[in-house]
Structure 1
Amino acid sequence: MVVVAPSNLLLVGKKVIFNHPVLLVVGLLVLSLIYNRLRPGLRSIPGPPVAAYSKLWRLHDVWKGHAHMTAINIHNKYGPVVRIGPNHVSIADPSMIPIIYGTKENFTKTGFYPIQSISWKKRPELNLFSTRDPEYHRIEKRKVGAAYSLPNLLQSEAAIDSCVELFMDRLHEFASKKEPVDLGAWLQYFAFDVVGEVTFASKLGFLEQGKDVDGMMKAIEGMLTYAALCGQVPEMHDVLLGNPLFTKLMPAMETWNQVLVFTLKAINGRASIKRDGELINADVEGRDMLSRWAYVKSNDPLKMNTRDIVVHLSTNVFAGSDTTAITLRAIIYFLCRNPDCMNRLVAEIDEGDKQGKLSHPVSHKEATSVFPYLGAVVKEAMRIHPSVGFLMERHVPVEGLEVQGYRIPAGTIVGINPWVTNRLPAFGSEPESFNPDRWLTASEDQLKEMDSIWELNFGAGSRKCIGRNISWIEIHKVIPELLRQYRVELTYPEKEWKITNHWFVQQEGLICNLTKR
């Protein structure tokens, strides 16, 4: 018998491993997976067992398109703090909202966000949403923030009224023929044209043509899908669309990216660009954002340049319709599914009309002051079906984070998903049910708590959605006018609509019958 010393065995093992690269790679992969699972500070946090080893669990979950439901289910199973990746923790504690999303911005955005940006003249250009740098965000917000204030946006109310009127006229074509209408699609056409009026002082043609103009809706859906999937493994963006070689080999994005092409076409339609691509001076400040910003540029080019204008206008086009359309669809769908709620809201609108309190179309001021039940319906629909369906990711700062007895170390990615927090016991009994009354009958303290959680639908802190007032105006004008003029019913009440979550939780199948009232 030949006896081999342990040291010799170790030497042989090293030779085998280093002479076989595949074994080396497998060994390193195994060690990496083990380290992920046992990562200091996170190993004791509960969650789906596979999730702690690799980002692939989360990537697969997002690919399936129902990550919002997974989030609800795992928090119901594991509690308010759940580990969903090697370095990812999902939190369902509303007391953490002002901490994680505070105005100090010490919890900075993660690599998920820069993926959702454009390039201009072959250079990456971050916008207010995609930038991770708090100082850059503050600088850019100072340039454009005033244009998104409620008083300034209401200067475009007459133009928004024209969108409402055109929308009602187009729906009349279906009602008069007694044909079902894909109301979900038409609500997005409406939202796009409102964005056009607010941004460019011109409708974008969606309502007039009754279709997805230039394939914009489809293009944005594709961009969101890419961002949703790549955002789970953001380092992959550097070898895909974020690859520097991609920028060098491909034509400039302004020649092929639908959002950017569409934005530039809208600008050119206003004759506001010179041949060399520079905006001409504007002598008078208009109501729309293009006019406002061109006016600023003409008076002080250091405050606003062409790059700033193109980036911020294209952001409006990209993000200005989807989230609003999602909310509008949710309001109509839940009202149709709950006839008592629908009847109560229609009665409230009819009473306001009977008392002569309403304009034609309904004004924003009237809708927000005359219709308390409408306000409750809007909040309840947004509570049950928020537009955003992922964690709003942030990096834990150097001091770490204490939550629910866990000490989460610096560098960990944490966040809160509104689909989870919007169903907490703070909202009363049966949080899964559509019950607008909960907003009218809650005590003052409970209502304050509900509002503080619900506000996360728009984000929080200094990163709260800058365009939320545009959405708010649209919703409160078009819903009462729609129900004032038409009885709306689901064409196929036996069918559920289809929901797909690729960052925004989109719906399909809101097919309705309209009857003129």
Structure 2
Amino acid sequence: MALLLTLILTLILFIKPLVTYLTTKTLTKYYPPLNPLSNHTTLSYIYEHRHRFRTQRLYNKHLHHNHRIIRLSPTSLSIADPKAIPAIYGHGTPCVKDDVYALTKGTHTHFNMLNTISRDDHSRKRRMLANAFSTKNLQQWEYKIADKVERLLGKLDGMCIPPPSSSSSSSSSSSSSNALINGDGDEVDMRYWLNLFTVDAIADIGLSVKLGLLDKGSDEVVVDGEVVRYIECLHRGNRVSSWVIGASGWIGLLRGVSCVVSPYLREQWECGRRFGRVVRGLVDQRLGVQESGEKLSDFLGLDAGSDTTAIALTNVMYYLIKNPPSLEKLREEVSGALLGEEVAPYAKVRNLPYLKACLEESLRLSPPVSRGLERKTPPEGMYILGERIPGNVTVSVPTYAIHRDPEIFPDPEAFWPERWLEDDEKVKQMRAVFIPFSSGARACIGRNITFIEQQILVSTLVHRYEFELPSKGWMLEWEEAFNLWPGRMPVRIWRRDGYVIH
């Protein structure tokens, strides 16, 4: 057994990386590696995973070492240059989605719109859904969003504190393992409640399923008699999958070994499988029968549709609370549009320029998908930034890094919504590199629904409540798996002047 293990480790750590290095050596000549393993093996992705925020580290490498192109693995390049966006993601690009997407479908035989590699298959699926995801058609579901907003308000009203006196300190904070409020009962984890909102909303919009998570104040769902923590299982499964997904060629082995050597990792993999069962169970509840694999596209909606919108909502609320002048300016705009409505009607807030600027500035600073979305060059190779990139090389533009190009976004670390309200030529330049939803034919089809949810909910929240973070210097932390998750966000909330808690 010991000899077999030694042989396996020798193969993994020495022989295969050496072969890969020799067969792809041409890339090493030109592009500096992200880490010591990047020249030799895709296991470099696992090396990077020890950092909770991998793309921030990549950004620092691009920025501080002044490298436009960095090697991520023997056959993968990160390219932080605005001109690379149309070359890699544009409608006329010869690039296709990288094989890593096919690995995300797991054991299912069906590809959904996110992970299909085939352009024809993607075009067919997108045509089927494009009309349903148009802003015009999504507006018919506004009543479902409004219903979830009302339920969230009912819960938040019950957790409001009396307005603090002017002499009260804003620096007090307390800690607790409770997911919802602290031991004193005066802090609300907004990240958790916003996630309950997005799960309830997308389940109702996409499947007409009433999960009732907001009413329960919990992410527990029951499918086929099994109680499953929806958000917890989604995050655990994505966390462990993201640990190995970039290590192409090793995924099956790494998954098997991790399940054997680590009970913790084995439980993470099982959580991911539980989430898959939840989605299939919810779809079956609605359809009543087992249809073809096409229904697994709902997995995409319940996963990406709930998680990324919750991330965006959490981030924009955080940035607004941290920047009181921006929050007050937004309140003035919203107050001028609303006439006593409890829930902001979409028709009244859809065209508010400062609201849109706040949402876009938050997406710029903290895009829900911060890494570069992987594409593969054609077999014959192609030119990017005037350099010839060999065929079948994975290329990507890191969203987090390109959104911080100081030539396009001055003072890039500042939350400054006003930048989106400058002259048209400047805004046009920014939009050309603004890719939180990717770009081109494979851009996110769900961007309309996430904006509708954000415009309605953010307007309602800032109009109704005051917010306070645990202390003036408190900072939100992020963890990167597939998505860039904000951590727990404890806030104290109270009704604004003119509102009465019923």
Q: TM-score range by the shorter chain?
A: 0.7 to 0.9
1:365 aligns with 2:347: yes
1:134 counterpart = 2:122: no
Q: Is 1:342 the equivalent of 2:327?
A: yes
- More displaced stretch, 314-323 vs 423-432: 423-432
1:487 aligned to 2:466?
A: yes
Aligned pairs for 1:267-306 within 5 A: 267-270=283-286, 272-273=287-288, 277-278=289-290, 306=292
Does the 8 A contact of 1:42 with 1:408 survive in 2? Answer: no
| SS state at 1:428 partner | coil
2:178 is aligned with 1:196: no
Higher helix share: 1
Aligned partner of 1:511 in structure 2 is: 490
Residue deviations 1:297-323 (CA, integer Å, cap 9, x gap): xxxxxxxx54212x1222211211111
Distance 2:61 2:494 in 1: 43
Change (3 A) 1:256 1:445: closer
The CA deviation at 1:498 is 2.1
Residues 90, 416 of structure 1: 8 Å contact kept: yes
Q: Per-residue displacement from partner, 1:37-94 (whole Å, max 9, x unpaired)? A: x712441223446222232333211232211111111101142112222111101111
Shift of 1:22: 10
SS class of match (1:52): coil
In 2, are the aligned partners of 1:423 and 1:431 still within 8 Å (CA)?
A: yes
Partner residue in 2 for 1:313: 298
| Alignment CA distance shift 1:22-1:317 (3 Å) | closer
**For 1:157, what is the secondary structure of its paired residue?**
helix
Q: Which moved more, 1:474-483 or 1:317-326?
A: 317-326
CA distance in structure 2 between the partners assigned to 1:204 and 1:39 by the alignment: 53
Counterpart in 2 of 1:260?
276
In 1, distance between residues paired with 2:132 and 2:34? 45
Distance 1:425 1:173, change over 3 A: same
8 A contact 2:237–2:272 mirrored in 1: no
Q: Secondary structure at the match of 1:40?
A: helix
Aligned residue type for 2:241: A
Shift of the 426–477 alpha-carbon distance from structure 1 to 2, 3 Å rule, reads: farther
2:234 to 205, 220, 237: 220
The answer to whether the Cα contact below 8 Å between 2:84 and 2:385 also exists between their aligned partners in 1 is: no
| Structure 1 residues 267 and 90, CA gap change in structure 2 (3 angstroms) | closer
Opposite residue 455 of structure 2, the aligned amino acid is H
Which of 117, 121, 138 is matched with 1:153 structurally? 138
| Other-structure match for 1:62 | 49
**Conserved? CA contact 2:193–2:214, under 8 Å:** yes
Distance 2:16 2:249 in 1: 17
- Displacement, 1:242? 9.7
RMSD over aligned CA atoms reads 2.9
The answer to whether structure 1 residue 45 and structure 2 residue 42 are counterparts is no
1:232 to 2:246 alignment: yes
Q: Distance in 2 between matches of 1:94 and 1:410?
A: 22
Figure out how many residues of one structure are paired with residues of the other and give that number: 449
Matched, 1:375 2:362: no
Query: Is it true that 1:496 corresponds to 2:475 in the alignment?
Result: yes
SS in 2 for 1:55: coil
Q: Check conservation: 1:91, 1:414, Cα contact below 8 A.
A: yes
Q: 1:107 Cα deviation (Å)?
A: 0.9
Q: Give secondary structure in 1 for the equivalent of 2:417.
A: coil
Distance 2:190 2:199 in 1: 14
Match of 2:350, SS state, is: helix
Counterparts of 1:242 and 1:308 in 2: how far apart (Å)? 29
SS in 2 for 1:82: strand
The Cα of 1:413 is off from its aligned counterpart by 0.9
* CA shift in 2, pair 1:475/1:24, >3 Å: closer
Change (3 A) 1:39 1:481: same
Q: Which residue of 2 aligns with 1:448?
A: 428
TM-score normalised per structure 1: 0.80
1:184 — aligned with what? Answer: 191
Larger Rg: 1
Residues 22 and 484 (structure 1 numbering): CA distance in 2 closer, same or farther, change over 3 Å?
Answer: closer
- Per-residue CA deviation, residues 398-437 of structure 1 (Å, 9 max, x unaligned), is 3423234432111111101110100013433211111111
Q: How far does residue 234 in structure 1 lie from its aligned partner after superposition?
A: 2.4
Q: Alpha-carbon deviation of 1:478?
A: 0.0
